[in-house]
Homo-oligomer: A and B are copies of this chain.
């Protein structure tokens, strides 16, 4: 496995692979890898001849009061983990390499409307603009055949899929299932921020989603009633501070009153300063 830091180097590497008629899979990450990322690497290796991982904490997708500076970074640890999962090359550019005009800013942005208005988009203005812009850059740099994204960031997957359709981006987006800790907590690089108490109470997130799935299986179709039950269960944990709990259409993320179609039940909850997200697909037939 090799680690490359410049755009010119990764372009040359990928071009050489293409000359050998190899297909290329990209796993875009912000590093501080966990089992969720590694499952994406395994998917990439299953689908493609060569698996490229980008590791880049993208300043453009962080708000001014968010955790860009403190976001955990450890390239050496990441490289060892990625290699163990079978990655072929890591592309780990500097902020200046990705945003050469300085200060981590860009005059050009990719904006996706509508599907960015709800869920995390409502509370993190500019976040998905930063995501869509850096993903476009990474696609243009690596030119992968397929790109692998985890469904923990379900809205991100929907946004990228919308962007790829609208801009005719020649990349196949492959969504991959959420990977969870044995006790149910969705894997996240931000889990390391949690205190012991917060970590225990955060188990309520996946538990509340499982409860919701059961309710739906028992026939619940009223979105408000379902959301209230989830909120009530989370609020039993004194350290939990709900950002949102929403039931939206899986297709276009518009809020649902009645659960009469495939839906996404998504939530964001703060424990102290740490904001965790989780979600589950409600497989409801029309």
Contact = CB atoms under 8 A, between A and B. Distances in A.
Nearest to A107: B113
How many copies of this chain are found per oligomer?
2
Nearest to A110: B110
A140 B7 CA distance: 19
Given A137-B167, A167-B136, A168-B141, A108 B107 contact: no
A132 interface: yes
A158 to B, nearest CB: 11
A192 interface: no
Interface in A140-182: 140-141, 143, 162-163, 166-170
Contacts of A168: 7, 137, 140-141
A163 B108 contact: yes
Interface in A99-151: 101, 106-115, 132-133, 136-137, 140-141, 143
Contact of A133 (B114, B162, B167): B167
A11 B170 CA distance: 10
Contacts of A132: 108
A120 B169 CA distance: 28
Interface in A218-253: none
Given A137-B167, A168-B7, A168-B140, A110 B108 contact: yes
Contacts of A101: 166
A97 to B, nearest CB: 10
A111 B108 contact: yes
B107 A115 contact: yes
A166 B112 contact: no
Contacts of A112: 107-108
Contact of A170 (B107, B140, B163, B167): B140
Contact of A107 (B106, B107, B143, B166): B166
Contacts of A140: 167-170
A53 B132 CA distance: 28
A98 to B, nearest CB: 8
A103 B114 CA distance: 16
14 contacts: A11-B170, A106-B166, A107-B112, A107-B115, A107-B162, A108-B112, A108-B132, A108-B167, A109-B110, A109-B111, A110-B110, A110-B167, A133-B167, A140-B168
Interface of A: 7, 11, 101, 106-115, 132-133, 136-137, 140-141, 143, 162-163, 166-170
Q: Which 4 A-B pairs have the closest CB atoms?
A: A108-B166, A140-B168, A107-B113, A106-B166
